Amino acid sequence: MDPDDDPAPPAEAEPQCPDCQDALQSGGRQAISFLLVDTLTVPVVGCDGHLEEFRAICELTTEDAAQLLNHLPAGGIQCPACRNHDQAGGMPLVFVEAGAVGVLACETHAKDVIETFKSGLQTRQQLGANGPL
């Protein structure tokens, strides 16, 4: 992947999208959505538009449809470390165009979701700008 396409910019970078900034700074439960991708249920935070773009890109490299829920799914979050993730300790940000998605998961599952996103970006680039999305 081209270094300019890296979704993980320097730690001091902030999203340009004001709705993403508000969602990331709020930290309230009402700002959290849940990404269901492969076998993972991962809490994520961002504005609706950039969360949907993140989900769509992740879905390009998954066997099943990636889903985004605005409520805790039945069965909850299976991973105890993800379930007990302390947002005060920080969260990885994945930049999606001018916005960003915060991944509120344990280190292992955050890496898995970020790798899925990166693979999806590569797939989208290979499909070209006019590919299906």
Strand-pairing partners, residue 101, are 94
Rg (CA), the chain: 14
- Is this structure's pTM higher than 0.95? no
What the block records as the tokens of 27 is 């930290």
Residues 6 or more apart in contact with residue 122 via CB below 8 angstroms: 1
pLDDT per residue rounded down to tens, the chain (133 residues) = 444 455 555 555 789 999 999 988 876 556 789 999 988 999 999 999 999 999 999 999 988 899 999 888 888 888 888 888 776 667 899 999 899 999 999 999 999 999 999 999 999 988 875 555 4
1: helix, strand or coil: coil
Q: In the chain, what are the domain boundaries?
A: 15-127
Predicted local confidence at residue 107, as pLDDT: 92
CB 50 within 8 A of CB 33: no
